[in-house]
Every structure is written in structure tokens, then in C-alpha cells.
Amino acid sequence: MRSLLSVVLPSLLLAPTSSVDPANATKIVVYHVNPANYSGITNMDTADAAGDAFFALQGPMTTLDCRNTTSQHWGNECTNPEHASNNLTITKVSVMIDGNTSEVYGKCNICVNGTTPLSKHPKKCAYGSYVCSCSTGGFGPGSKDVSCPERVGVESVNATFGKFPTYPGAGKTMFWMKNLVFKLGGNWFATTKGGECDDEDLSTTKGLRTDGTPCFWKLVATERKVAFECQQDALYAKVRAADKASCFSACGSQATNTSSTCAIECLYATLLGHDGGSVVDASKGLAGSEIKQMWVDAFDGCPNLM
């Protein structure tokens, strides 16, 4: 999710080994959006700053899409608690991982209505629990369900979402998403329960649990936790200040209503350019580095809830 990541993706995607090499122990700093009543990162997805900014900035798109009852949605997309909850928080954590990661990324989400959300092949699960589903072959008809790896799964936002097609007649949210992909990029990380260490640090445990079995990641510290609403309001304020076309001014009383259609459309018009909902051109609007820094500064400026 960010430039704060202390490793580069290509160096992570190495051939797997049967046990952790202590020389590969690497600390990363990542973020996670989820309801306030959850803690830790077991069976959860996190991201560097760029990747989490991309995730969070998809939220307003989902808001618009879910108002359109005729549009298609992923299973449970509109009721996904990581989007629809009224007590969302953003948490910043540091994690020690084995740098030999997996290209099989776990889509880890909160169980809704007894099925895994946002999955191509939904499975039964316990309501309210975090569950991960893994597949190979992308989102197309050739995808195949597989067991989630114990190693940390890494997904490149650019490599995955950059493949999504835009076509004549595609909705503006698809173009907004593609433009954000190419501006922000970033990486997502899946930390499944099967790979969690039960000691303090991979570099000192030599990658073994106390029972001698291999492990691949450990939560080192939860550094900050802020209200998602605070961060979103601060981000919108920064975007309004960067609006040179007076788009938000035309929204009148709805300019500061972050759920209003007018404010959402002006958000993307400012970030991506006024035709960002109809063409893919990452050169328009604000630079990706500027968008990411706005997101980080908005997070840092909110009160710590811990």
C-alpha cells in the first residue's frame, strides 16, 4: 500500500522453501480498513499506503454502484462490512514476514449471510468471522479454487486490476477504477492463520513455531488506529482544496457531503481529471504520489483511537 514498504515486490516473489530462512525476515508497515470491533490481522488482507489508498478510494465507487439496482455486483459487495459498516476504522501495523512470499493471494473478508463475500465461488462460513478464499487464473472462467498458502500472499494492484477491461459503454466507475490503478498501484498482503508465528520475531525464532513447525509472519505492533470517517473527511477536504475547476462549488450544500453523488463525482474529477470517468489516462488529474500523500496525511492527522 505505500512507499513506506521496506521491500520491493519483485524481491518478494521468490521460489518457496520448506522453512523460513532467517535472512529473509523483513519488516513491513501496512494498513487495514475494517470495523472497529476487530483487531489483529489474522486471516485478513492489508496493504501498503498506495494499495490501501486504492482500496479506500474504491469505496465511493461502490456507494454509487450499489445505488444502481440494475448494475452487476460481486457477491455481497454492497453489504461487505469493510465498506458498509458504520464504525469503520483504519489501522496501521508493522509485520515481520518471510520475504519468500506466495503469488497466491487470499481474498480475506468478513463472512456475510453465511457465505464468503467478494468470491467467485462463495463458500459457507460462520457469520462475522474473517475467512480467506484463494484461486488461480484470475477472475475469468478459467479460475480454479485452491487452498490458501501459509506464506504471505502478495497481490500487485496494478497487475491484477490493470487487466480489468474497459469497453464502449462501460460505466464511469470502471474508468475511475482503472485510472486509480495506474496512478496508485501498490501491493496487498494476505496473512492467513496457517502461517502465523506464535513467537515475537521471525528473525529470532528461525521461522519456527514453538512446536517446531514452520511459520511465515508475525504481527509486531499495532501503531495507530483512526476512525475511517475522520480520515475520509480529511481526505475530501484536501481534494476540495486541490479543486482548480470549482467542481465542488457547483455542488452547493452537498459539497461537503462525502456520500452525495455530486461530491463523489467531483472527488474523482479532481483526482483523475474531468474525463477520468470515460477514458483511461493516468497523466490527467493529480499525480499518484500526491494522491497517496494526501491519503497518508489525512490518516496521520486523525486522533489515535488506541
pLDDT by residue (tens digit) across 290-299? 999 999 999 9
State whether residue 109 is helix, strand or coil: strand
CA distance 86 to 84: 6
State whether residue 146 is helix, strand or coil: strand
CA distance 14 to 30: 21
Q: What is the mean pLDDT of residues 228-256?
A: 96
Three cell numbers, residue 44 = 485478513
Residue 194 Cα distances to 30, 42, 152, 190, 199, angstroms? 20, 9, 10, 11, 14
Give the model's confidence band at 115: pLDDT under 50 very low, under 70 low, under 90 confident, else very high: confident
Contacts 24+ apart (CB under 8 A), 120-125: 121/145, 122/75, 122/76
- Count other Cβ atoms within 10 Å, centred on residue 296: 22
Give the model's confidence band at 12: pLDDT under 50 very low, under 70 low, under 90 confident, else very high: very low
pLDDT at position 171, please?
Answer: 84
pLDDT surpassing 80 at residue 93: yes
What is the chain's mean pLDDT, rounded?
85
pLDDT surpassing 90 at residue 37: yes
Burial class (CB in 10 A: 0-12, 13-18, 19+), 211: exposed
pLDDT at position 168, please?
Answer: 67
Give the model's confidence band at 21: pLDDT under 50 very low, under 70 low, under 90 confident, else very high: low
pLDDT surpassing 60 at residue 289: yes
Q: Which residue has the higher pLDDT, 303 or 161?
A: 303
pTM, 2 dp = 0.86
Q: Of 106, 97, 95, which is closest to residue 21 (Cα–Cα)?
A: 97
pLDDT surpassing 70 at residue 64: yes
Q: Which residue has the higher pLDDT, 205 or 192?
A: 192
Q: What is the mean pLDDT of residues 3-28?
A: 50
Three cell numbers, residue 278 = 470515460
CA distance 225 to 3: 19
pLDDT surpassing 80 at residue 185: yes
The backbone torsions φ and ψ at residue 89, rounded to the nearest 5 degrees and listed phi first, read: -130, 165
pLDDT surpassing 90 at residue 68: no
Kindly state the DSSP code that residue 167 receives in the 8-state scheme: -
pLDDT surpassing 60 at residue 108: yes
CA distance 97 to 215: 9
